[in-house]
Amino acid sequence: MAFFNFSLKSIKAGLNNIKEKWGISKLFSGKNKIDEAFWSELEEKLILGDVGVDYSEEIIDYLKGEAKRAKNISIEELREIFMEKLSSELEAVPGMGAAFELDVRPLVLLLIGVNGSGKTTSAGKLAFQFKNHAGKNVLLAAGDTFRAAAVEQLKIWGERTGVRVIAQEQGSDAASVAFDAWRAANNSNADLLIVDTAGRLHDKHNLMEELKKVYRVLVREAGAERVHVVLVLDAVSGQNSVMQAETFNAAVPVNSIILTKYDNSAKGGVILSIAKKLKVPVRYIGLGEGEDDLSAFDIKAFIKAIIED
């Protein structure tokens, strides 16, 4: 499979504070002993870091087993085993950290998520990345017809990036916007169509039904192989993001995830939970408001940031 990888801002820029927020790296300094106090503190830090209770316990049990088998294991050796464990979990998810495939064209990226997760901004950033870094023909669709501000925001992104925006009047049927946008993308030989949608709480039945309709229309017109559902999650939401992902995935098949606001107060452990529970790849993390502030997720940099001193 061919991937287009952009020269984006390094993930390290968004992980500068992760080390301090978790404090895990300090546990693995040569001064600490591997005793019950160590295990208790490590488990606590994992849970507080948004890894989740069940998965945190699983990690601790695994590390304890490895330490017992190795007997006189050093803290440095345990750290390497820990890093290897997390890396293997993330690498086991196909597409983790990889840019979107453009093997079928126009590819349709349907961006979904709750209110305020950063869908519109992510749509604009993706349009910028593909057009300006990869030289692709991109269209944007203003599928958030509830808020006039959302349409205007997407149009501003269109002006900034030189990308055409397909929009209708406020209150229009979102599925109709998606239909028009697909026709425009197909007729103009576009490489990529990015469809923004209205934010919706995952427990609102009627809004989830509307989302299903938008998805059905796109699949009917473009074919399932062209429609890629991208769930945009606020990294600061922690374990709530996992619950959102599970609910959205029950409504429409989520293919990929973008984690926004990673430059904020996110601790990052939710990435591990998503990989473990959902097996859905995190492809990008949002590191700011600029066009280039969308970085491909880097597994090795992430693991080093939370564990290495």
Please check whether residue 282 is in contact with residue 97, taking contact to mean a CB–CB distance below 8 angstroms.
Answer: yes
Question: How many Å apart are CA 59 and CA 56, to the nearest integer?
Answer: 5
Is 5 a member of any domain? no
pLDDT band at 23 (very low <50, low <70, confident <90, very high): confident
pLDDT of 207 reads 84
Residue 66 burial (C-beta neighbours within 10 Å; 0-12, 13-18, 19+): middle
Q: How many percent of the chain have pLDDT more than 90?
A: 52
Q: Which residue type, as a one-letter code, is found at position 84?
A: E
Please check whether residue 10 is in contact with residue 301, taking contact to mean a CB–CB distance below 8 angstroms.
Answer: yes
Task: Judge if 67 and 111 occupy the same domain.
Answer: no
What does DSSP say about strands 282-286 and 256-260: parallel, antiparallel, or unpaired?
A: parallel
Question: How many Å apart are CA 226 and CA 221, to the nearest integer?
Answer: 10
CATH number of the domain where residue 54 is located: 1.20.120.140
Q: What is the DSSP letter of 191?
A: S
pLDDT band at 2 (very low <50, low <70, confident <90, very high): very low
pLDDT of 8 reads 41
pLDDT of 220 reads 98
Mean pLDDT of 248-260: 93
| SS3 of residue 264 by DSSP | coil
Q: How many structural domains compose the chain?
A: 2
Is 71 a member of any domain? yes
Task: Judge if 86 and 161 occupy the same domain.
Answer: no
Structural domain that includes position 282: 107-297
Residue 15 in this model has a pLDDT that exceeds 80: no
Please check whether residue 221 is in contact with residue 182, taking contact to mean a CB–CB distance below 8 angstroms.
Answer: yes
Task: Judge if 41 and 169 occupy the same domain.
Answer: no
Q: Which one is predicted more confidently, 237 or 143?
A: 143
Task: Judge if 208 and 121 occupy the same domain.
Answer: yes
pLDDT of 303 reads 87
Is 254 a member of any domain? yes
Cis peptide before 106 (omega within 30 of 0): yes
Cis peptide before 94 (omega within 30 of 0): no
Look up the pTM and report it: 0.90
Give the residue among 221, 199, 226 at the shortest CA–CA distance from 210: 199
Task: Judge if 53 and 111 occupy the same domain.
Answer: no
186-238 pLDDT per residue, tens: 999 999 999 999 887 756 778 889 999 999 999 999 999 999 999 999 888 87
Residue 264 in this model has a pLDDT that exceeds 80: no
Q: Which one is predicted more confidently, 288 or 15?
A: 288
Residue 3 in this model has a pLDDT that exceeds 60: no
Is 191 a member of any domain? yes
Question: How many Å apart are CA 297 and CA 274, to the nearest integer?
Answer: 13
Evaluated on CA atoms 144, 150, 155, 156, the torsion sign reads negative
Q: How many percent of the chain have pLDDT more than 70?
A: 89
Q: Phi and psi for 260 in degrees, rounded to 5?
A: -95, 170
Mean pLDDT of 51-62: 94
Q: Which residue type, as a one-letter code, is found at position 129?
A: Q
Residue 140 in this model has a pLDDT that exceeds 80: yes
Q: Which of 24-38, 123-137, 235-249, 258-272 has the highest mean pLDDT?
A: 123-137
pLDDT of 282 reads 93
Residue 284 forms beta bridges with which residues?
Answer: 258, 296
Mean pLDDT of 134-163: 91
Q: What is the DSSP letter of 294?
A: E
Flag the least confident range among 8-22, 68-82, 110-124, 130-144.
8-22
Q: Which one is predicted more confidently, 305 or 275?
A: 275
Question: How many Å apart are CA 214 and CA 273, to the nearest integer?
Answer: 28
pLDDT of 6 reads 44
